[in-house]
Structure 1
């Protein structure tokens, strides 16, 4: 006789209490209809966005993305022809060629961000949603969910595609370029993966697995959560009492604020700033043509593209590889200083700046992917070959460290110095404070 497993589906029938992840404002969210979203009235952070097909879409798009990723590794990815010599490359050669050139750390970094981590995330989505709501395997699905949201920011498939396009424009005047079947499969993989990620709502997913977190007494939806001894779990975004050491829903350790947030942020930021020097001074790529080697730095590559007339590509590389890292490091340093100095003006603007630093940081990896693609594609011996330079790994380290630095910063610290009198109406008080400055 076949056993039937109980299936638990949480359907919100009443309002839910929550706190903003970026400003700690305590509020009530009414039941959302598919396609609706809730926004914090204090800092304008998007709290929730319920997809139209919250249960079906993530798994369907994940399966499609995994199939496309598998197909993209079985056929030629790119091809080029120079003076009758034809050269093809496959997708996995972007990593294996770097390994052959004695750059194992760079090869691992490229392979992780463009294939391994996206494949792991998509597999986790399938495992989570396949039996969502069933009691069997519930604890394991919770662990999968925790790992999923930790790994999603490190999936850089779309950044890699931009790097491929920049590489093609760089060599378009030197050779005939062919786009293989794997290139189009990888484009479809990228679109399906982004669609799968965008269809996931963290709050809805945790509610389906464990239901809401029950508090001993209902909070007052006004003011900061920390003032009522509450906090938002950083992992499952559940509103939890600070009297408990671990979240009752996902069992993560609870903190009112990220421990030693400023110290970790500045330590990672200073390390990235130190690495930024060799990343720009040392050659990022070595080009061999007719037996002569040319060493190229990041800025030198931008100048060369500008002289060749490739102005859009030169601007993309300049913005992504030079301007973005500098602006991001300066922005994070200024945010840390504003917290340390106790500044209370333009809190909403500084919160927007924090969101911007989180968003743009990963796009600086474009130059690293450009090197990986060109090294794998241009392998014609003394006639024409490209080799990775020492700056490639240093620049990858800069990107990773600045991303970790932004993740270590707690944006709620920007709002902790707010006077008590300003916590009645968040929108009006913020506008009055900005006008007073």
Structure 2
């Protein structure tokens, strides 16, 4: 209809803020802008010649370890590409130079994250072995009265509560984390119901409002012939959350089994946990799609899109399942007694 609108990355949180969607604005600011910037700054500072005490480097590495899994610029870019397909039904879509700049940022950001060897830097600060006795291969650390620091991965005597390298508190096994994981999974399962029943996006067209759920969007794109995008959204927003809840529940059950674990089963469970840790963040793609579309389509009463309450419930589900996977202690997979 001759109406044009442009959008830059900083306009998205600004529009969400003006529309009083504070929770979605904070998620976007933290996961897409702030956390990736902090991790990159830490990489630059730690790898440069800036004089820092080992205590400051230690603090920076701890912050980096905690924030790394919450950085989602590549997931946001996937949401941008999905949004392009959705927006073709509203008009012509064009990209500007900033789009290509962000693409190159994603490439270099991922490359920097891969090349940044955090264990090597920990070893430069202090030794990774604080055990005085000789360790034997083929035996578990717990049987040799040795534990692993989950923060800096140093080997410590089992009775030592605080790691001398990163100063973080820990113990041989944290079995109460199974209860924490299960409690978080039950919470996410309860919240997953309203996340699918309530709409995630509210569309106003010529003064008439209509709300659409996650499945409504998948069905619409499938009927419209956008099969790849429909499969991506269905996988990320429906299949992955359910499979993650089922997988973590199975891992909790397996960890509570004693004396009946075979080595190959433990290896499979450990691989399953690594897969759950990797794919869990990708469910946020639908939240980013909603944020992009609602920020771009603003033509008053003629045509406008707003986030709906279902998007908030779904974002909470994704965050809780991520926290649940972080709470799980994968060392319990290998315990036979």
Determine which structure has more spread, i.e. the larger CA radius of gyration: 1
DSSP 3-state at the match of 1:125:
helix
- Give the counterpart of 1:117 among 35, 45, 52: 35
Higher helix share: 2
Higher strand share: 1
The aligned counterpart of 2:24 is: 106
The aligned counterpart of 1:344 is: 261
Structure 1 residue 169, shift from structure 2 partner: 0.2
Question: TM-score, normalised on structure 2?
Answer: 0.95
The aligned counterpart of 2:299 is: 380
Structure 1 residues 95-121: Cα deviation after superposition (integer angstroms, max 9, x where no partner)? 121111111011101111110100011
The aligned counterpart of 2:66 is: 150
Distance 1:276 1:173 in 2: 29
Distance 2:160 2:293 in 1: 53
- Do 2:161 and 2:169's aligned partners in 1 also have CA atoms closer than 8 Å? yes
Structure 1 residue 212, shift from structure 2 partner: 4.0
The aligned counterpart of 1:93 is: 11
- Give the counterpart of 2:133 among 197, 206, 217: 217
- Larger CA deviation: 156-165 vs 250-259: 250-259
Query: Alpha carbons of 1:379 and 1:150: their partners in 2 closer, same or farther (altered >3 Å)?
Result: same
- Alignment root-mean-square deviation, CA: 1.4
Distance 1:245 1:415 in 2: 21
- Do 2:160 and 2:171's aligned partners in 1 also have CA atoms closer than 8 Å? no
- Do 1:213 and 1:248's aligned partners in 2 also have CA atoms closer than 8 Å? no
DSSP 3-state at the match of 2:26:
helix
DSSP 3-state at the match of 1:216:
coil
Structure 1 residues 372-409: Cα deviation after superposition (integer angstroms, max 9, x where no partner)? 00011111111211100001111111111101111111
Distance 1:235 1:270 in 2: 27
Distance 1:187 1:366 in 2: 16
The aligned counterpart of 1:328 is: 244
Structure 1 residues 188-243: Cα deviation after superposition (integer angstroms, max 9, x where no partner)? 11111111110022221111122443432222223101111111111111111123
Structure 1 residues 259-279: Cα deviation after superposition (integer angstroms, max 9, x where no partner)? 511011011111111110110
Distance 1:182 1:140 in 2: 35
Aligned pair 1:407/2:323, yes or no? no
Question: TM-score, normalised on structure 1?
Answer: 0.74
The aligned counterpart of 1:55 is: none
Query: Alpha carbons of 1:339 and 1:213: their partners in 2 closer, same or farther (altered >3 Å)?
Result: closer
Distance 1:212 1:366 in 2: 38
Query: Alpha carbons of 1:212 and 1:406: their partners in 2 closer, same or farther (altered >3 Å)?
Result: closer
Structure 1 residue 338, shift from structure 2 partner: 2.2
- Larger CA deviation: 307-316 vs 335-344: 335-344
Distance 1:214 1:404 in 2: 30
- Give the counterpart of 1:251 among 167, 174, 177: 167
Structure 1 residue 254, shift from structure 2 partner: 2.4
The aligned counterpart of 1:354 is: 273
DSSP 3-state at the match of 1:178:
coil
Aligned pair 1:371/2:287, yes or no? no
- Give the counterpart of 1:395 among 291, 314, 318: 314
- Do 1:242 and 1:254's aligned partners in 2 also have CA atoms closer than 8 Å? no
